[in-house]
Structure 1
Amino acid sequence: MAEGFEPTGDGWTLANFTAAIHRGGVAMWAWSPTQRVARLDGLCREFWGVSESVVSIDELFARVNAEDRVEMVENWWASEREPQAYSFDFRIGDGAGARWISARGVGGEASRVGAWIQAIFLDVTYTKRAEEAERLLTAELAHRVSNMFAVARALTSIVARDAKSMPLFAEDLSRRFGVLHEATALATRSQHGDHGNVPMGTLAERILAPYRNGANIDVDIADAVVAPPGKVNDYAMIFHELATNSAKYGALSGGGTLTLRGRMEDGAARLTWEEGAAPSSATKAEGTGFGSRLLKQTIERSLGGRFERTIDADGLRFEMVVESV
């Protein structure tokens, strides 16, 4: 090494290197296959939510997300035998607060120090959540494009039934598409901070306006029920999803009755969407498909609310409650 560049001084210590590694989200650990215990450093204990330095492997396994546990345990034991670099990912904990961990090391004898096998854990939660958000965004985009085509077909069918001439048909269809575009633009502008709170009634009316001539629609949402700027697009998506499904299978497919109510009750916004029996013979199983998952994701995760949906011979009832809008 060139003169004057040799590492010296109090800063060149194992403790400082360990601190630097920890700041990078890397934890160090070792485990004994025969004793079925693991030795964890401070950051590793934080990952697992334990206080002891030496912990039973089975206790750690029990803390792994149930969906990941079987594959994770198989990979864990395989890392002892297979003499090659490995990397496997899993979650510790459940729900939105679960931590994503990547276990990395070299299997076989190369990683052994006596009876112990050494490796690292890397916190990859941020990366995994970003990947999940990207996948959801891609799926949502594909779903919305599919929905727009479904809306186009439904609106074309509705307008065609009452059209007296081709020019009137084109004019009416263009107007309905224009209103739908305005509703989408309203949500987009609000999402980017160009507007304040948006009355929920206004948003619902914009989205349902293209279906007005084909169904009996009654919107009664109190002025106090509003969507804050950052959540307008969420509510627009919910109304649009419900309207799209109704246009394909329910009251908005022609001649049906839709009632939309909104009230503030004890500080919570309660929205109720009720449809009479669908005039169409088309049916669809409840709770299936990406649309249902998107509704659940939006209402429960983004808005922090809850909802119930029932479909029977009398029609559909959808009710959602958001504690604070």
Structure 2
Amino acid sequence: MAEGRGLETDRAALLARYDLDTGGFDTLDQIAAFAAALCEAPIALVSVVEDERQRFLARNGLDVEETPRDISFCAHAMQGPEIFVVSDATRNPDFRDNALVTGAPFIRFYAGAPLIDGEGASLGALCVIDDKPRDDLTDLQRQGLSLLARQVMVELEGRRRDRDVIARQQRDAQAVAESDRMFRTLADTMPQMVWSTLPDGYHDYYNARWYEFTGVPAGSTDGEGWNGMFHPDDQERAWGRWRHSLETGEPYEIEYRLRHHGGDYRWTLGRALPIRDEHGAIVRWIGTCTDINDQIAMVEEREVIAHELSHRIKNIFSVISGLIGLSARQHPEIRAVADDLRDRIMALGRAHDFVRPHGPNSQPDKGEGRLWGILEQIFAPYRDALGPRIHFSGDNPEIDDRSATPLALLFHELATNAAKYGALSLPDGRVKMEVKDEEGQIRIDWREEGGPSTVPPTGEGFGSRLMQLSVERQLGGRMTRDWRPEGLSLSLWIPARSMSRTPAGKG
């Protein structure tokens, strides 16, 4: 059967959207009473037509609550967009045998305005009924009945919206409850302690791991009670970091000592991230606490061992230097060679001391892990009353234990040769070094000035081969030399990855 602008496929599903079984149709009763008065009719009804029946949501002048659909006048009225009028039902072949005509309420005149929703579907009709025939409604009555029918739909659509809102709220509440249940289940299965706070930082949830670790009663660390779980020396620092995250929205991360249920304090890594809504506002913080006490103890133990090994290696350098000096005293003819060898070993010792693991009382004063730091140690002997005679400028790339040894040998040889034969052999001689990071290559230029005129060597000595080995074999770089009249000019190109395992930085 055609209905309005579409086919009638499932009236039960259509009408179910309006929550018609809950009652509360006082406004519709008022509309029906006004329609009866406006049209001077003894009966007015708000009728909703279902699959098998029509039922009256509001009625004036009639006690019946419903009738079968097959005798419904409103089932005809809802099929068109205009008011449906039957002037005299006893003379209309479609209705003269209708039970509502032959019996109570003895319908003679009927006028019904269809109830059409916003999607064009008809729910039923607002109708007026008289037991006396009429030709029609007046123009004013027609206009009024149409307006009242639209007002009926305003009320029904409002109920529908309210029902949809309530249903959506219920679904949202169910989704939140389900999400919260899943979150708590997941959190309780995690090995870390998990907690959450409101946007203002109020702690309102801890998982099972938290209570297992701390041993405190459930709920005792809600709000600000969590801070009392930290070591007294860590509380102010933890609060300060947490307040900063709350004020800025930045992630929270800190290491602190957390009180264990055994009474001792264990090092813990605390982290938290904000959860934001679609507008970027923070709606919750989710955090974790991870017990890192064993890892810290292992690191401290490894550092103790590394310091001890490094100290012993440094002692070995000292022993070797002492043995070389003793041999030179016993064999004066090898003194020059012995002195050179001892100086190189001392340079290696300085390089090792620069990059070896340090404790809090043995840290280098400055330049730790940077090229300039080791250069200051290698060039420390080459100073005069006016200060350093080797000046370096430019970038200050990172170095590590792999590059420290070849760099120490390289610059020791350059400084030694400059002191013996080059710029540093004369009082006014100076050396200028410039370091540049050139897209993954560290370029180092060594320029000697103010020394004696230089000429290329006739043969390649041990020192030259040592520098070549340091640059090319150990550092994977290249080296060029220019024996200018005013002094040696040497340039190095060393891959940044050979200088340090981390990208080269700038000083």
TM-score of the two chains, using structure 1 as the length reference: 0.41
Choose between structure 1 and 2 for higher RCO, CA contacts under 8 A separated by at least 6 residues.
1
What TM-score do you get using the length of structure 2 for normalisation?
Answer: 0.27
